Amino acid sequence: MAIIDLVKWNGNPNLMAWKFPSEELSTWTQLIVNETQEAYLVKGGVYEGPFLAGRHTLSTKNIPLLTTLIGLPFGGQSPFSAEVWYVNKQTNMDIRWGTPDPIQLQDPQYKIVVPVRAFGQYGIRISDAKKFLMKLVGTLPAFDTDTIANYFKGIFMTRIKTEIANAIVKQGESILTVSTRLEDLSGMLKTSLLPSMDEYGFELTNFNVISINVPEDNPGYKKLQEALAKKTEMEIIGFNYQQERSFDVMQTAAGNEGSAGGMMGAGMGMGMGMGMGIPMGNMMGNMAGQMNMGNQQQMGQMPQQQPAGQQMPQQQAPQQQQAAPAAGPSYQEKIQMLKELAELKAQGILTEEEFAAQKKSILG
């Protein structure tokens, strides 16, 4: 094989390490090193270098390896065999990472278990080229960023899952709000990963958590979103969950057949139970009392047999039955009216006092 007179980088600029394809060198071979690069002469696992940017002659006068390990005569011109490794020390800023499978976590605020995914990006630079070559590259002909990402995937995923789980479970951060802490999480993860990267001659220039999310098709997450949307709607119109449940219960009872349903419908028509703080049990008790009094009145109107010789007392005129009040707005109509009032208040047409007065009027 012909002896190489000139050695220079011919690899892909995206590579982090590249080995010159020939090992047939001589003491007159010229070694060219570009900016942001370092070169090493390797023989029998011994690294000679670094050769920094510029032109270098591989002679025994400036390379002790050639005389001690290879045994070339000092000052002579002789061929020899050795590897030449180039290391690219440019910073690579866009290496992507992502959790290969979701992290199953329980939301500390809403107590539902959801699968959490995380994605991000990091940047690295080779800070110690010799350590990098000795510990990581080995016998590979080239070393790119994909190789780096695959090699560190296990370390990265373990640390990332641990930090996200700590933020959500131990620190009580809800899954819905953990995205507001991406900058803090990024800083904590970078600090956690620095020792592992330094062990292999790398500097972690930046580490970013871009997204922490839950799959949209997850059933538990969908239910949580629907509940929060409903809660927000009720808060906008000045309504609460207990009031809505009272409406639902009374509306269901009013639709049932029988006297109880009819009485409940009448109660709804009179505006009973409209968030006025009257418990359902008390309201039903009052209705039962009214039924009992009505029965007693009916019994009192029946003529009673008097003993002989006693004058029949003058009968009192029966009380006129009061007409049933007209049915008020339905549940859906009241909700719609409250929504329209809330929109008027939001537009500045109604003041807070006017809105409160109208709301009180609608609710009876």
> pLDDT tens string for the chain (364 positions)?
678 889 999 888 888 999 999 999 988 899 999 999 999 999 888 899 899 999 999 888 778 888 777 777 766 678 888 999 999 999 888 899 999 888 888 888 888 888 899 999 999 999 999 999 988 887 677 888 888 888 889 889 999 999 888 888 888 888 888 888 899 999 999 999 999 999 999 999 999 999 998 887 778 777 777 777 777 776 666 655 555 555 555 555 555 544 444 444 444 444 444 443 444 444 444 444 544 554 444 444 444 444 444 444 444 444 445 555 556 677 778 888 888 878 777 777 778 888 888 888 887 7
Complete domains list, the chain, with CATH = 6-88 (no CATH), 92-219 (3.30.479.30), 237-276+327-364 (no CATH)
What residues contact 216, with CB distance under 8 A and at least 6 apart?
A: 222
pTM of the model: 0.59
Strands (E), the chain: 6-7, 17-19, 24-26, 30-33, 37-43, 46-51, 54-57, 79-81, 83-88, 92-98, 103-106, 113-126, 142-143, 202-213
Distance CA 124, CA 58 (A): 31
